[in-house]
Amino acid sequence: MNTGKVTLVSAGPGDLDLLTFRAAKAIAAGDVLLIDDLVNDDIATLKAAHARVVRVGKRGGCKSTPQAFIQRLMRRYALQGKHVVRIKGGDALLFGRAGEEIADLRHAGIEVEIVNGISSGFAAAAGLGVSLTHRDHCQGVIFVTAHLRDGTEPDWATLAATGMTLAIYMGASRIDSISEALGKTLAAGTPAAVVQWAGTSREKRLVATLGDIAACAAAHDIASPAVILIGGAMGEAMEAVSARSEPAMRRLSA
């Protein structure tokens, strides 16, 4: 039997309208779909009639399917000659452990195809109506996870000193410590935002200052999954809220 292949499909932030055509075609062509926890459940409606669906949930702070088990599943099905479609939330190449999976599959002699998608950081910015790289405010954007593999946190002081927009993933549960750490380098009045469930019908948006963002997020029950955006470019969202004379908490409704 010929060896099959694995396609790493980026499911985007949630809304099926944000899937690429290439992603939809790959899902329809798959024999086995391995679907992550934060992926829209309706994505399975795009599969072929014969395709098998396996839920392999991975989500911070929750019971998750072990990464090693997911990789064994991919190898097993591909070596049976099947087309395995590994469906990941957001963009597969950003904080999705794609590097580990690609290396493991290549080591096993299995073909890997990658389909890009929209990351939640971009969906969050779109919901707020701001540019992450507004040239009046910054020269770039840094995508960073709130915690490293060993459980430690990034060097927030160094990141803050870059002057870039910071798009912080998986940081909702640590927003207090993150804002405090960034506040040692950045002014308390630095514009900030948090977007929960970005790019979905459940989206909640909040804009405030770095000094207030943690308290505002707690007051409005903003929790995971959420993206935290810090930097001058977020000032555009603050100005939009002020122009509409919204409450002092500066909460943007979905």
| Angle at 68 (CA atoms; ends 67, 71), nearest 5 degrees | 90
SS (H, E, C) the chain: CCCCEEEEEECECCCHHHCCHHHHHHHHHCCEEEECCCCCHHHHHHCCCCCEEEECCCCCCCCCCCHHHHHHHHHHHHHCCCEEEEEECECCCCCCCHHHHHHHHHHCCCEEEEECCCCHHHHHHHHHCCCCCCCCCCCCEEEEECCCCCCCCCCHHHHHHCCCEEEEECCHHHHHHHHHHHCCCCCCCCEEEEEECCCCCCCEEEEEECCCHHHHHHHCCCCCCEEEEECHHHHHHHHHHHHCCCCCCCEECC
Among this protein's residues, is 47 annotated catalytic? no
- Contact predicate 75/61, CB 8 Å: no
Residues of 78-95 as b/e, b for ≥16 C-beta within 10 angstroms?
A: bbeebbbbbbbbbbbbbb
Among this protein's residues, is 88 annotated catalytic? no
In the set 164, 170, 234, 238, the catalytic residue is: 170
Among this protein's residues, is 58 annotated catalytic? yes
In the set 47, 58, 82, 88, the catalytic residue is: 58
In the set 36, 91, 104, 212, the catalytic residue is: 36
Give the largest CA-CA distance in the chain.
66
Active site amino acids: 36, 58, 170
